[in-house]
Structure 1
Amino acid sequence: MSNANSNSARMKTIFRSKTAKALDRMEDPRETLDDSYDQQVKLLQQVRLAVAEVATAKKRIELQGEEMGARYQRLGSQAAEALAQGREDLARAALERRAMLEGQVAQLQKQFTSLQQQTAQLQERERRLTDQVAAFRIEKETIKATYTASEAQVRANEAVSGISNSITDVGSSLDRARDRVAQMQARAAATDELLASGALTDLTAAPDADIERQLAAVSAQAEIERQLQALKGADAPGAGGGSAQSGSGGWLGIGQGGA
């Protein structure tokens, strides 16, 4: 049972490792940062929209309060005028309406005060969020620039490493080529010696070329013996300057006969 658990844990570890590597290849941190920044900007826009909506509602209540305040003042004037004209009933009705209006104004004042507090809170949140978004944007661009520079450095290092490997491969290829050339030269020299000795048959040579080659070797040896005897005769007493004559013709006389 323990072996099964151990194998299962090991498989989970391998799976997590491979998954993490795959995610690293698929996920570009620059895109992730841009997405996060876009989300924060959207949240900031929502807060600003909420601030605008609350401000609009507060303005609407403020206008309504001003209208109710004007009516309140008008009812007071009407009550005084009615009482001056002896219409106490009208004055009482105006004062009753004014009293009712006071209750409505009181409720409106509470709403207005609440909206003022909400507006102040939202404006403070908007200010803080604006600062956070601005700071995040600067940090985001810094991280992106650093990542891009590091990525370029990695590519440059990989390129240099690839060049080094290529140079190493080229050096190995040159060494192998030199060995092959040396082997081929040695083989060519060996086959030349074998052809010269007759051990190999030169299929491109003329018929009886081997006999001609041997006769030429005998003639060359005989010519050497003749020249040797001529030199010995020239060194004998009474011999007349044969060596001097042999050199009188210069280099054009070499090999043209005579000692």
Structure 2
Amino acid sequence: MGILSRASYVIRSKLNAVLNRAEDPTETLDYSYEQLRDELQDVKQGIADLTTQKKRLEIQKRRLEENVEKHNEQARQAVEQDREDLARQALEKKKQKMSQIEDLEGQIQDLQSQQDQLVEQKDELQKQIEQFRTKKETMKARHEAAKASARVNEAMTGAGDEMQDINQAIERAEERTEDMEARSQAMDELREDGVLESQISDESSLERELEEVRQKGSVDAELDTLKAEMGKAEDGDSGSSDADVSEAELEQELADESTQVDVDESEVESELDELKEDEQ
């Protein structure tokens, strides 16, 4: 097989595969049915043409038969008038007409045979068409039922193209949802551990811790200074009754103030200054 022959074979095979995939069985059946109906119409037309031709020959035969009778009458009249020559001519014409009638009868018989044969073919073809029509409708119904069943099975099993797209969309949505849930949980965990800080605050956790330590050290230093100025050394116990009362009141006041969220450092410093002036 040459290159061109192989290429032609490949092209025909590819084209045949494409046509097979594109072919709709219901349309093919309808087309075949219409083709058979066209053939039946051609057969009927052929029968009509043969019948017309036969009728024409039959008309010619009747006319020739009428001429035969006419020539018979002419021959009798010629014999009655003792005109043998005229009688002979009439009989010769009669013979010619009889010969033509025989030829026409043979042609008419042939046409009749052809007509009978075409009628039989027409009846057989018409019967086949009716059978094919019934089978065609049955096949179309089976094909439509099979298509519907296949669509239902594809929808139920997710094997169809549309269901595959839908399943893929659902899977993508589930993956994105799980990613967002995991990200949200991770952010909550990191925020609780203090790894991530709020974007509203400009200070980091380390800076806040250092600031708290610094403020605590400042308060402790001021407290020690206050104790030293008031003569409240760690080993001194004089004036315990008044000191105990003032200490209890001070603890109560501090406990009350500890419930407040915001503390104004300027107010604390002003109060300490007043205490220092009272001592002096």
TM-score, length-scaled by structure 2: 0.59
Once residues 200 and 37 of structure 2 are traced to their aligned partners in structure 1, the CA distance between those partners, rounded to angstroms, is 91
Counterpart of 2:191 in structure 1: which amino acid? T
Structure 1 position 47, deviation (Å): 1.1
Q: Does 1:71 align with 2:67?
A: yes
Q: Deviations over 1:202-252 (max 9, x none)?
A: 87177985455996xxxxxxxxxxxxxxxxxxxxxxxxxxxxxxxxxxxxx
Residues 53, 188 of structure 1: alpha-carbon distance in 2 compared, 3 angstrom cutoff: same
Counterpart of 2:181 in structure 1: which amino acid? V
Partner of residue 46, structure 2? 50
Q: Secondary structure at the match of 2:114?
A: helix
Unaligned runs of 5+ in 1: 1-12, 216-254
Q: Deviations over 1:47-96 (max 9, x none)?
A: 11110111011101111111111111111111112211222221121112
Q: Does 1:191 align with 2:191?
A: yes
Q: CA RMSD in A?
A: 3.8
Once residues 75 and 61 of structure 1 are traced to their aligned partners in structure 2, the CA distance between those partners, rounded to angstroms, is 21
Which is worse superposed, 51-60 or 166-175? Answer: 166-175
TM-score, length-scaled by structure 1: 0.64
Partner of residue 116, structure 2? 120
Q: Does 1:33 align with 2:3?
A: no
Structure 1 position 170, deviation (Å): 3.2
Counterpart of 2:101 in structure 1: which amino acid? V
Counterpart of 1:185 in structure 2: which amino acid? Q
> How many residues get paired?
206
Once residues 129 and 154 of structure 1 are traced to their aligned partners in structure 2, the CA distance between those partners, rounded to angstroms, is 36
Residues 23, 212 of structure 1: alpha-carbon distance in 2 compared, 3 angstrom cutoff: same
Q: Secondary structure at the match of 2:82?
A: coil
Once residues 11 and 62 of structure 2 are traced to their aligned partners in structure 1, the CA distance between those partners, rounded to angstroms, is 70
Residues 193, 202 of structure 1: alpha-carbon distance in 2 compared, 3 angstrom cutoff: farther
Once residues 63 and 83 of structure 1 are traced to their aligned partners in structure 2, the CA distance between those partners, rounded to angstroms, is 31
Residues 17, 152 of structure 1: alpha-carbon distance in 2 compared, 3 angstrom cutoff: farther
Query: Match for 1:154 among 145, 150, 163?
Result: 150
Counterpart of 1:204 in structure 2: which amino acid? S
Once residues 41 and 206 of structure 1 are traced to their aligned partners in structure 2, the CA distance between those partners, rounded to angstroms, is 93
Residues 186, 118 of structure 1: alpha-carbon distance in 2 compared, 3 angstrom cutoff: closer
Structure 1 position 111, deviation (Å): 1.0
Partner of residue 233, structure 2? none
Q: Larger radius of gyration, structure 1 or 2?
A: 2
Once residues 177 and 65 of structure 2 are traced to their aligned partners in structure 1, the CA distance between those partners, rounded to angstroms, is 106
Partner of residue 236, structure 1? none
Q: Secondary structure at the match of 1:141?
A: helix
Residues 200, 30 of structure 1: alpha-carbon distance in 2 compared, 3 angstrom cutoff: closer
Q: Secondary structure at the match of 1:104?
A: helix
Partner of residue 82, structure 2? 86
Once residues 80 and 95 of structure 1 are traced to their aligned partners in structure 2, the CA distance between those partners, rounded to angstroms, is 10
Which is worse superposed, 129-138 or 68-77? Answer: 129-138
Counterpart of 1:86 in structure 2: which amino acid? D
